Amino acid sequence: MSQQFNMSGPIEISQACVDDPFWSAEQELVRTTVLPYQWRALNDQVPGASPSYCMHNFRAAAALNKRLNGQEGSGDFQPPTYTNQGFHCLPEDPDHPDPDKFYGYVFQDTDFSKWVEAVGYSLAHHPDAELERLADGAIDIVCAAQLDSGYLDTYYILNGMNRHFTNLKDHHELYCLGHLIEGAIAYYQGTGKTKLLHAAERFADYVAAAFGPADGQLHGYPGHEIAEMALIRLYETTGIKRYLDLAAYFVNQRGTSPLYFEQEDRQRAAYEHADFTIDDSRPAPYAYYQAHGPVAQQRQAVGHAVRAGYLYAGAADVARLTEDPALNEAVHALWRDIVDKKLYVTGGVGADADAESHSYAYDLPNDTGYCETCASVALVFFARRMLQLEPRSEYADVMELALYNTVLDGMAMDGKSFFYGNPLEVRPQTKRNKDPRYSYVPIVRKRWFGCACCPPNLARLVESVQDYAYTLAEDGSTLFVHLYIGGRIQADLGEGSIALRVHSELPWKGRISLEVEASGDGQTTLALRLPSWAGGDAAADAVTVHTGQGSSNAISRRVEQGYLYLSGPWKQGDRIDIDFDMPVRVVAANPLVSQDAGKVAVTRGPIVYCAEERDNGANLHLLHLDGSALSGDASRVKVEPFTFQAGAYLDDPQAEGHVDAISRSMVRLRVPAWRESAEGADTAPLYRQWQPVRRMPATATLIPYFAWSNRGENEMRVFLDVD
């Protein structure tokens, strides 16, 4: 069986750090702006933003816990009996929330978990005593809220434990478990402190006892996935196999017959004296939850795109660790379905904004597509797990694409506002006219969200980006370099260890160097990804090895599945120089994507470009790239380093869409183009005799997609007409 698997594991966070200009800037933004902001948000201290109630709920649960344990007040205190507070519960008087009540979304506990996860990653490479003090204090409150049993979800603790685990489908208890685990592990890795990790283990133990195949156990699984991935991390952190078993149970039980969610819905309807109606999510009942059939039999990516990504990542983990060929086949098929039929050119997924879901094959609307930031975060997770199953550069290509484009697009350049959805085309008149078809399509970033999934999800990924750059082969033979991010990496390989110093000019230039700072004896292998944007396998020619002592012939070279394997007796002072070609690439979509017919997107390296009205004037549908300048020889496209000036278009720092004045070095593209005139069109007739269009020569200025909407509200397009 194992010949199907060519697996690798993650590098521990403490073994890699980042210091390249591009990613350092992102991480600093998160550390200095996002994390403090997020802390205020989860303590309801952001003026104008809807309160989170996250820490409020933990405090209320901690107080209840004290009373239950007779530590305070009457010892015969009775716990609350459940009343359904709905998916989002707000206080009657917003100015005076009841200190004993639960408020916010059912999953509001995860605001803390995601914050503490990002804090953990940040502390790992950037000590900050004040931040650590804040986090320790929060952890004390959270742990005080945990029931003696180990259960820890404030929604049911405060509303009535008698109905806990009766609405797995919608009430996110196991989602809260998953995020708690992820946060606890990160904080443990960043600080060495175990208090939160133990709390997470206790909750996991409680769940592991409650769920499973045995009689008397619940045969259910998470409504919103993430616990699968998280339990695998807990297994890999603690070595306790119970967590792997539980993750495998959740993955393999999902969607089996009789369908747990349907049974649960029936029972809940009976309990609530309501009619039972089957969940009719498209394209099949319970498909929104990826519970329409057994995971090992799933072949099409469906339903809520974040949940789907988390499930597939967890399933890939389980496939790897249990060497399950059916699950392995399923995650490969699901990957292919996404990449071949449902992936935006920006690395976005989830074309169906109405259900935040994958749409059907080849349905990729540029203007109404959702492309949730979190869904691309989930795609990064999935891709990293696929890389661990099998080192193929396609996985890293997609991971990098999502990371540099849709994920980074989620945050404004000043770190103060965020996109949930990341469309590929906007026209401000849709917002000005309150067009309901575009109600999910943002034109400018918002400052925060009551349902704050995307900003902290982005924050935790940015703070741990080095985790995605490297994996180690399970046999200890090989260090894989998937992403070229400047910094340091130390890896324990089978025959010794190796420490590398990486310099990278990505994403703007293809020059990278990897210096061996230290190494053990014996043969070790470095496997360098050959990015598709640099020509794939042919890019191996861009890699030169310089050995300090003797000839570089001692290092053998082999290209396989998009990786250049360099094996030999690496010594301190050896150096690998890379100069990847970074041509401008003009990309067309498959002819079955009707929304992109006659259009192209322009990319360079890992960066996808777009045209903004600010640079190109209004009516971007009248701007056409000049096909004759793009086919064959793309040298007529000018690659132009420049300083991007964000902000300065809106005076009010509280206004939606405001971005603080900020400058960043980037590369923009200047593409030969032409445009149709709209002069006088607003007084011209609505229809006229067609004539071939008079082409007015123009130059299209394209900026990185992640940088759009940093200069106020304006039109934007990724796919542009070409002819």
| Catalytic-labelled residue, pool 356, 394, 400, 715 | 356
Q: Is 720 a binder of its own copies (CB under 8 A)?
A: no
498 beta partners: 491, 519
**Nearest distance in Å: CB 636, its own copies:** 14
Distance of alpha carbon 30 from the chain centroid:
15
Name the packing angle between helices 305-322 and 325-337 (round to 10°).
150
Q: 371 an active-site residue?
A: no
Judged by phi (left if over 0) then psi (alpha if -120 to 50, else beta), residue 476 lies in: left
Task: Give the x-and-dash track for 332-351 against its own copies (CB under 8 A).
Answer: -------xxx-x-x------
In the complex, minimum distance from the CB of residue 597 to its own copies, in angstroms, rounded to a whole number: 4
Q: Report, in Å, the least distance between residue 461 CB and its own copies.
A: 24
Q: Which is nearer to its own copies, 283 or 496 (CB)?
A: 283
Task: Examine residue 718 and tell whether it contacts its own copies (CB under 8 A).
Answer: no
Position 311 contacts its own copies (CB under 8 A): no
C-beta of 345 vs 412, nearer to its own copies: 345
- Find the shortest distance in angstroms from Cβ 675 to its own copies: 10
Task: Report, in Å, the least distance between residue 622 CB and its own copies.
Answer: 6
Q: Does 538 bind its own copies (CB under 8 A)?
A: no
| CA atoms within 13 A of residue 154's CA, in its CB half-sphere | 33
Q: Is the peptide bond before 127 cis (omega within 30 degrees of 0)?
A: no
Q: Could you give the angle at the alpha carbon of 663 between the alpha carbons of 411 and 661, nearest 5°?
A: 75
Secondary structure of 408-421 in HEC code, one letter for each residue: HHCECCCCCCECCE
Residue 434 lies near its own copies (rule: CB under 8 A): yes
Report the C-alpha gap between 683 and 671 in whole angstroms.
31
Residue pair 160/83 in contact (Cβ under 8 Å)? The answer is yes
DSSP 609-643: EEEEHHHH-S-GGGEEE-HHHHSS-GGGSEEEEEE
Residue 331 contacts by C-beta under 8 Å, 6 or more apart in sequence?
A: 312, 315, 316, 319, 382, 385, 386, 389
Task: Answer yes or no whether residue 652 interacts with its own copies by CB under 8 A.
Answer: no
Closer CB to its own copies, 126 or 282, in the complex: 282
- State which residue, 228 or 425, has the beta carbon closest to its own copies: 425
Q: Is 384 an interacting residue with respect to its own copies (CB under 8 A)? A: no
Taking alpha carbons only, the member of 605, 536, 540, 549 closest to residue 578 is 540
* DSSP per-residue string spanning 112-178: HHHHHHHHHHHHHHS--HHHHHHHHHHHHHHHHHS-TTS---HHHHHH-GGGTTS-HHHH-HHHHHH
**62 is an interface residue for its own copies by CB under 8 A:** no
Phi then psi dihedrals of residue 609, to 5 deg: -105, 160
Q: How far is the CB of 611 from its own copies (least distance, A)?
A: 14
The piece of 83-91, 175-183, 358-366, 488-496 that touches its own copies (CB under 8 A) is 358-366
656 binding its own copies? (CB under 8 A): no
Closest to its own copies by CB, 152 vs 629, is 629
Q: Is 586 a binder of its own copies (CB under 8 A)?
A: yes
417 interacts with its own copies by CB under 8 A: no
Which residue, 559 or 589, has its beta carbon nearer to its own copies? 589
Out of 99, 258, 550, 591, the residue judged to bind its own copies by CB under 8 A: 591
Q: Which is nearer to its own copies, 409 or 721 (CB)?
A: 721
78 lies in the binding site for its own copies (CB under 8 A): no
Taking the C-alpha atoms of residue 463 and residue 484, their distance in angstroms, rounded to an integer, is 16
Min dist CB 350 to its own copies, Å, is 14
Question: Total number of residues binding its own copies (CB under 8 A)?
Answer: 59
Q: Does 585 engage in binding with its own copies (CB under 8 A)?
A: yes
Confirm or reject binding of residue 437 to its own copies (CB under 8 A).
yes
Extract the tokens encoding 398: 């997609």
Of 86, 99, 213, 436, the one binding its own copies (CB under 8 A) is 436
Beta carbons within 10 angstroms of residue 251's beta carbon? 31
**Position among 256, 619, 645, 699 found at the interface with its own copies (CB under 8 A):** 619
Binding window for its own copies (CB under 8 A); candidates: 2-10, 160-168, 425-433, 450-458: 425-433
Residue matched to tokens 């034109």: 443
Nearer to its own copies, 294 or 627 (CB): 627
DSSP 407: I
Gap between the Cα atoms of 56 and 44, Å rounded: 8
How far is residue 382's CA from residue 229's CA, in Å, rounded to a whole number? 10
The site map against its own copies for 666-695 (x = CB under 8 A) is ----------xxx--xx-xxxxxxxxx---
Q: Considering the complex, state which of residue 181 and residue 586 has its C-beta at the smaller distance from its own copies.
A: 586
Under rule CB under 8 A, residue 499 binds its own copies: no
Q: Does 521 bind its own copies (CB under 8 A)?
A: no
Residues near 430 by beta carbon (within 8 Å), at least 6 away in sequence: 367, 437, 438, 441, 443
What is the bridge-based pairing of β-strands 623-625 and 720-722?
parallel
Please answer whether residues 514 and 501 qualify as being in contact, where contact means their C-beta atoms are separated by less than 8 angstroms. Answer: yes
Closer by beta carbon to its own copies, 471 or else 532:
532
Determine which residue in the list 594, 635, 663, 665 makes contact with its own copies, applying CB under 8 A: 594
Phi, psi (rounded to 5 degrees) for 710: -110, 10
Site membership for its own copies, residue 431 (CB under 8 A):
no
d(CA 391, CA 276): 46
* Structural contact between residues 25 and 410, judged by C-beta atoms closer than 8 angstroms: no
CB of 671 to its own copies, least distance (A): 12
State yes or no: residue 635 binds its own copies (CB under 8 A).
Answer: no
Which residues contact residue 663 at a Cβ distance below 8 angstroms, ignoring those fewer than 6 apart? 643, 644, 645, 646
Active site residue 356: yes
Q: Is 266 in the site for its own copies (CB under 8 A)?
A: no
By CB under 8 A, what part of segment 277-306 binds its own copies? 282-283
Cα distances (angstroms) measured from residue 37 to each of 448, 454, 638:
9, 14, 39
Closer residue to its own copies, CB minimum distance, 318 or 334:
334
- From 20, 205, 363, 495, residue interacting with its own copies (rule: CB under 8 A): 363
Q: What b/e sequence results for 116-147 when a residue is b if at least 16 CB atoms lie within 10 Å of its CB, and e otherwise? A: bbbbbbbbbbeeeeebbebbeebbeebbebbb
Residue in 267, 433, 572, 665 binding its own copies, rule: CB under 8 A: 433
Q: How far is the CB of 723 from its own copies (least distance, A)?
A: 6
Check 453, 454, 610, 612 and give the catalytic one. 453
Contact residues: its own copies, CB under 8 A:
282-283, 339-341, 343, 345, 352, 354-355, 359-360, 363, 365, 368, 427, 429, 433-437, 585-594, 597-598, 600-601, 619, 621-622, 627, 630-631, 676-678, 681-682, 684-692, 721-723
What amino acid positions are annotated as catalytic residues?
356, 453
